[in-house]
């Protein structure tokens, strides 16, 4: 197993054999799949043609509000392959040196940056300066300072900055959030987020501090961090953390192998989370309240997400997360629609501030205050 995405794909591919329910309306709780869409279509260029870029491209083939129209890559052979497969015109193909030229290309509305974490900052700022909307994979940057610079650059350029928080549109996740908002769990007391897999190839970029910004926290742990916020409905005010490292060769200085961290929230609720690169079978969210509970297992894989609450099994449909995400992003960009859970740059900076605090807490062994 070579990556987080390989791990998630293990369960994600099975979803394709299941009933794939209509996807266009479930992100907002309605089913509009029989309606004909005649609004603006978000024309997207994907930057970074690796495994996840490929997944997004495939998912976009069934989008109704977004379309893949361009590519940006440092590998000419991949560009040619994508050109042929997705009917992308030559004028919409760029490399990492010349993609600033998208500024003069009216056929591209947005660029989806799907490159290693350490490259996001400079690439998103270049996209913004070119006058295009930026979509960035998570984590948006390697620290909160860089993240804020990206937000500021996009605001200055008057373009939107959105982040690939696909779970914010997932039907079962949204149902748990609805139940929590409706008070069906009562006062929230506790959240648990377990995220991990056994990482493979030791030479991959995820184990390179300069490219990844860290280790498991920057890759799989961010799901528990972000999940703790949308599941509880609060932002944490303190964190404690403990790091465990069993392989100093594979996980070099600055690349975390396993981190356990605890979060405290203003209401008194607490969270206990685990992020690891050395254990499989970890993809679980559990939310406990005075009146009931919710469990998602798996909680963040590509699908199918499964779960139950004290009221029974969650039966919302299986969707292709990236298809829903891209269609919803079109509405956010063109019609300023507001999702149930934000996916903008400010949301991502909050997660980055928490990550910064987790690393500091693990390093110092102290409780670190968080101000978001």
Catalytic site positions = 138, 223
Give a three-class secondary structure readout of 347-362.
Answer: HHHHHHHHHHHHHHHH
Q: How far is CA 175 from CA 28, 286, 321, in A?
A: 10, 14, 15
Phi, psi of 184 (to 5 degrees): -75, -20
How far apart (Å, rounded) are the C-alpha atoms in residues 230 and 226? 7
101 class by beta-carbon count within 10 Å (0-12 exposed, 13-18 middle, 19+ buried) = exposed
- In this structure, what token pair is assigned to residue 311? 């009221």
The DSSP 8-state label assigned to residue 158 in this structure reads T
How far apart (Å, rounded) are the C-alpha atoms in residues 176 and 167? 12
| Residues facing residue 260 across a β-bridge | 242, 274
Q: Going along the chain, which residue ranges are E strands?
A: 42-47, 66-72, 93-94, 110-113, 133-136, 161-163, 188-198, 238-244, 258-264, 270-276, 278-289, 293-296, 307-309, 312-313, 368-369
The DSSP 8-state label assigned to residue 98 in this structure reads T
DSSP 235-299: --SEEEEEEE-S-TTTS-TT--SEEEEEEE-TTS-EEEEEEESEEEEEEEEEEEESS-EEEESS-
Q: How far is CA 348 from CA 34, 76, 129, 279, in A?
A: 34, 32, 20, 26
- In this structure, what token pair is assigned to residue 1? 């197993």
How far apart (Å, rounded) are the C-alpha atoms in residues 357 and 340? 26
Q: How far is CA 333 from CA 42, 66, 134, 154, 187, in A?
A: 8, 11, 10, 13, 35
**Whether 274 contacts 282, CB under 8 Å:** yes
């Amino acid at each position: 197993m070579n990556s987080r995405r390989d791990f998630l794909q293990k369960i994600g591919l099975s979803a394709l054999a299941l009933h794939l329910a209509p996807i266009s309306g479930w992100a907002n709780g309605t089913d509009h799949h029989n309606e004909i869409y005649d609004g603006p279509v978000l024309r997207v260029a994907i930057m970074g043609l690796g495994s996840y870029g490929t997944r997004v491209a495939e998912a976009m083939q069934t989008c109704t509000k977004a379309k893949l129209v361009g590519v940006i890559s440092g590998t000419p052979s991949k560009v040619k392959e994508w050109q042929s497969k997705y009917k992308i015109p030559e004028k919409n193909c760029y490399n990492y040196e010349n993609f600033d030229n998208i500024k003069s290309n009216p056929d591209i509305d947005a660029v989806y940056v799907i490159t290693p974490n350490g490259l996001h900052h400079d690439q998103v700022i270049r996209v913004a300066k070119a006058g295009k909307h930026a979509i960035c994979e998570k984590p948006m940057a390697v620290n909160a300072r860089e993240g804020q610079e990206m937000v500021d650059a996009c605001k200055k350029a008057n373009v939107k900055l959105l982040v690939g928080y696909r779970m914010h549109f997932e039907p079962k996740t949204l149902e748990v959030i609805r139940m929590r908002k409706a008070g069906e769990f009562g006062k929230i007391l506790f959240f648990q987020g377990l995220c991990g897999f056994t990482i493979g190839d030791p030479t991959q970029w995820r184990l390179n501090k300069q490219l990844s910004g860290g280790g498991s926290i920057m890759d799989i742990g961010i799901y528990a961090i972000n999940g703790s916020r949308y599941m509880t409905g609060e932002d944490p005010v303190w964190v404690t953390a403990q790091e465990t490292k069993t392989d100093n060769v594979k996980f070099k200085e600055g690349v975390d192998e396993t981190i356990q961290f605890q979060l405290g929230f203003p209401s008194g609720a607490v969270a206990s989370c685990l992020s690891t690169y050395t254990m499989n079978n970890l993809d679980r969210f559990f939310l406990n309240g005075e009146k009931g509970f919710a469990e998602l297992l798996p909680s963040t894989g590509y699908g199918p997400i499964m779960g139950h609450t004290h009221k029974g099994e969650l039966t919302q449909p299986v969707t292709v997360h990236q298809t829903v995400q891209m269609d919803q992003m079109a509405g956010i960009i063109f019609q300023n629609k507001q999702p149930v859970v934000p996916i903008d740059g400010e949301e991502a900076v909050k997660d980055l501030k928490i990550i910064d605090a987790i690393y500091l807490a693990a390093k110092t062994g102290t409780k670190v205050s968080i101000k978001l």
